[in-house]
């Protein structure tokens, strides 16, 4: 199973092909582990489980939100390694294609047959044992899935049937992602990545009985999406509630309503974030030669006088007072 070659240079930067075949037998496990950590921030210990050297081939797609890989393996074992906490923690959702897999996590152990799915949390200990297999691995934000399925920790390492119901829908979506990866631009891929937790949640719900997508959890997920969009577009002077709403496929009214219970309205929070970024840059000695206006414009402010007044009101000092002093050296001049 392979992701087709990318059709343009922008997509080519997101689709990567990898194989251990050219490496020595001893180097192959470490080479694969390093690639998985680089692409998906997962820490693994991989070992061939027969006298045959490890063979791993992978076609990987790594966008901002959407990340997945088509893999083909020789018999091997995989276990998780302790990893530092990450703000980008992601679940592994494996759609199994060929061969048999045994997975365990949280005291649960399951046999996964071709056509079925399973979920693992790489932040917690797990073990995988396989024969020769092929699969599709999708990495979804843990926080997004947990918001929809609070019982997530009790549902990892359980088989999700891919031949019927919600499991079949998720499996079909995974197959299409692999087949059409080269056709996706970044904006489209982002939106698909945001949608996948909603497809996975009903499949997990079938494992846990009456696990539902909670309205309060959905509200929090929308707020996280909005805040992430704002952070990604802070430098855009045209950023307003209408632009945010268009960016996350919600109505402006709904965007405003989602933040009525916060200490400050959304656009006031945008101003606060911009002022914080400006203060950080103004205090950075490496950026000392940038003017106050350049710093302000780089974070979406269009009026330097207005920016200076807002800055002083927020921090009690002017932007110029925030800057580190010039250091003058007779031999080299001022820096």
pLDDT tens digits, residue range 230-244? 988 999 999 988 899
Position 96 scores a pLDDT of: 92
Global pTM exceeds 0.75: no
Count CA atoms closer than 13 A to 163's CA, side-chain side.
Answer: 4
Cα angle at 193 between 191 and 198, to 5 degrees? 95
For residues 160 and 116, is the Cβ–Cβ distance under 8 A? yes
* Percent of the chain topping pLDDT 90: 44
The per-residue DSSP string of 35-84 comes to HHHHHH---EEEEESSSSPP-EEEEEEE-SS-EEEEEEE-SEEEEE----
For residues 6 and 61, is the Cβ–Cβ distance under 8 A? no
pLDDT digits (tens, 9 = 90+) for 283-310: 888 888 889 999 999 999 999 999 999 9
For 315, the 3-state DSSP assignment is helix
Q: Which two tokens stand for residue 181?
A: 């990866």
Residue span(s) of the chain under CATH 2.60.120.10 come to: 9-210
For residues 243 and 236, is the Cβ–Cβ distance under 8 A? yes
Q: Which CATH architecture has domain 9-210?
A: Sandwich (2.60)
Count CA atoms closer than 13 A to 234's CA, side-chain side.
Answer: 20
Position 212 scores a pLDDT of: 44
Residue span(s) of the chain under CATH 1.10.10.60 come to: 217-322
Position 333 scores a pLDDT of: 52
Print pLDDT tens along the chain (335 aa). Answer: 555 544 443 443 477 899 999 999 999 999 999 999 888 888 899 998 877 889 999 999 888 888 999 999 999 999 888 765 555 789 999 999 999 999 998 888 899 999 999 999 998 899 999 989 999 999 999 989 988 888 898 899 999 999 999 999 999 999 998 888 888 888 888 888 889 999 999 999 888 654 444 456 667 778 888 888 898 899 999 998 889 988 887 778 788 878 877 777 888 889 999 999 999 999 888 888 889 999 999 999 999 999 999 999 999 999 999 887 765 555 555 55
For 259, the 3-state DSSP assignment is coil
User: How far apart (Å, rounded) are the C-alpha atoms in residues 189 and 287?
Assistant: 34
Cα angle at 157 between 228 and 60, to 5 degrees? 50
User: How far apart (Å, rounded) are the C-alpha atoms in residues 98 and 116?
Assistant: 10
DSSP state, 6? P
Q: Which CATH architecture has domain 217-322?
A: Orthogonal Bundle (1.10)
């Amino acid at each position: 199973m392979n992701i087709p070659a990318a059709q343009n240079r922008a997509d080519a930067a997101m689709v990567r092909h990898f194989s251990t075949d050219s490496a020595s037998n001893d180097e192959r496990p470490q080479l694969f582990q390093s690639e998985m950590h680089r692409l998906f921030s997962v820490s693994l210990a991989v070992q061939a489980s027969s006298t045959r050297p490890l063979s791993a081939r992978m076609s990987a797609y790594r966008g901002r939100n959407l990340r997945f890989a088509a893999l083909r393996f020789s018999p091997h074992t995989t276990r998780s390694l302790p990893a530092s906490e990450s703000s980008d923690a992601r679940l592994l959702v494996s759609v199994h294609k060929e061969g048999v897999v045994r997975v365990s996590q949280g005291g649960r152990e399951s046999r996964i047959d071709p056509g079925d799915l399973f979920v693992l949390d790489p932040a917690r200990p797990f073990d995988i044992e396989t024969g020769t297999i092929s699969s599709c691995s999708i990495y979804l934000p843990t926080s997004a899935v947990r918001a929809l399925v609070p019982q997530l920790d009790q549902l990892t390492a359980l088989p999700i049937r891919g031949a019927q119901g919600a499991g079949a829908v998720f499996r079909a979506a995974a197959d299409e992602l692999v087949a059409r990866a080269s056709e996706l631009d970044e904006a489209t891929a982002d939106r698909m990545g945001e949608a996948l937790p909603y497809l996975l949640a009903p499949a997990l719900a079938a494992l846990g009985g009456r696990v539902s997508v909670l309205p309060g959890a959905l509200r929090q997920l929308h707020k996280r999406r909005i805040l992430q969009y704002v952070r990604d577009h802070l430098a855009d002077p045209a950023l307003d509630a209408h632009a945010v709403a268009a960016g996350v496929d919600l109505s402006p009214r709904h965007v405003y309503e989602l933040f009525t219970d916060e200490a400050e309205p959304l656009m006031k929070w945008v101003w606060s974030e911009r002022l914080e970024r400006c203060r950080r840059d103004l205090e950075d000695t490496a950026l000392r030669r940038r003017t106050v206006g350049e710093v302000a414009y780089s974070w979406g402010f269009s009026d330097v006088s207005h920016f200076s007044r807002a800055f002083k009101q927020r921090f009690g000092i002017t932007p110029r007072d925030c800057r580190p002093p010039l250091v003058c050296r007779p031999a080299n001049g001022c820096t």
